[in-house]
Copies of this chain bind each other. A is one copy, B any other.
Amino acid sequence: MAITSLINGNSSDAISLYDRGLQYGDGLFETIAVEDEKLLCWNEHLERLQIGCSKLKIPIPNQDTLSEEAQRLTSSVERGIIKIIVTRGQGGRGYALPVNIDSTRILSLYPWPEYSFGNPCDGIKVRVCNYRYAHNSVLAGIKHLNRIEQVLARSEWADRSIAEGIVLDNEENVIEGTMSNVFYIKGETLYTPELSACGVEGIIRQKVITLATELHLEVCINQISLKSLMDADEAFMCNSIIGVWPIKILDEKSFEVGDKTIQIKKILQKQNCISKL
């Protein structure tokens, strides 16, 4: 499947180099799974994009236009990824906001990734990164385009048997993966890091939190140490594309693929929140 893109509705794969998305990373993005032409959790992604635009004072693209353009790209697509980028558009040199902002919207269709480290049903191998996320309460939660931190964390390994890296913040709290959120279960409680200082508020993260109470799990969203994660009964990582990946190995520690993790995964698949793969 070729990658195809629409920039402000026009088929193109080139953008002005004066766009503030390139000049300053001045924008936001969303990454959405496509299955049988359907965009999974579409409304939730649009809602987060709106929240991000409001925080960065970027005009929110028309929702119907985004939906129509996404449908153009995904017609007859069995499985793929839609990435939406919204930037503050073009502007003069300098950080000051342009007087008239025409935000740029980019929708790209990517092929479904072929993950090469084995079957995520069996659990994945994860490392703890050396890089530490910086605290930034203004930017925490939203999916903005300033992603050098994730690039640096992900640059620490090339071993294709390692699927993901856990990143801590500069106070040694567990935050998330380089591209996913992290959960663990101990007894009858589901734990996940609170993300007020850094991290991305994942769509699937929110689905898992909502689902947990239906499964009679207590939910604890708090500061989490690496030690408590290592002491978990079961643990998993999640995002909109990978769905739910049980953690089998975290550095030196081995986990069993847990029943509750599998149960959460199956329900999310049944609810059409994540891919059935």
Report the nearest B residue to A197, measured CB to CB. B134
Q: Say yes or no: A7 contacts B17, CB within 8 Å.
A: yes
CB-CB < 8 A to A13: which residues of B? 16-18
| Interface-central residue, A3, A21, A24, by most chain B CB under 10 Å | A24
Among B3, B24, B97, B152, the residue within 8 A (CB) of A148 is B24
| CB contact under 8 A between A148 and B139, given known A14-B17, A106-B17 | yes
CB-CB < 8 A to A83: which residues of B? 93
Considering only residues 76-99 of chain A, those with a C-beta below 8 Å from chain B are 81, 83, 85, 87-88, 93-97
Q: Say yes or no: B131 contacts A138, CB within 8 Å.
A: yes
CB-CB < 8 A to A135: which residues of B? 134-135, 170
Q: Say yes or no: A97 contacts B56, CB within 8 Å.
A: no
Report the nearest B residue to A28, measured CB to CB. B148
Considering only residues 147-175 of chain A, those with a C-beta below 8 Å from chain B are 147-155, 158, 170
Q: Does A9 contact B (CB under 8 A)?
A: no
Q: Say yes or no: A24 contacts B150, CB within 8 Å.
A: yes
Among B20, B93, B106, the residue within 8 A (CB) of A113 is B93
CB-CB < 8 A to A181: which residues of B? none
Q: Does A57 contact B (CB under 8 A)?
A: yes
What residues of chain A have their CB less than 8 Å away from a CB belonging to chain B? 3, 5, 7, 12-26, 29, 31, 56-57, 81, 83, 85, 87-88, 93-97, 106, 108, 110, 113, 131, 134-136, 138-139, 144-155, 158, 170, 178-179
A-B contact pairs, 10 of them (CB 8 A): A13-B16, A13-B18, A23-B85, A25-B146, A93-B113, A131-B138, A135-B170, A139-B148, A139-B149, A146-B147
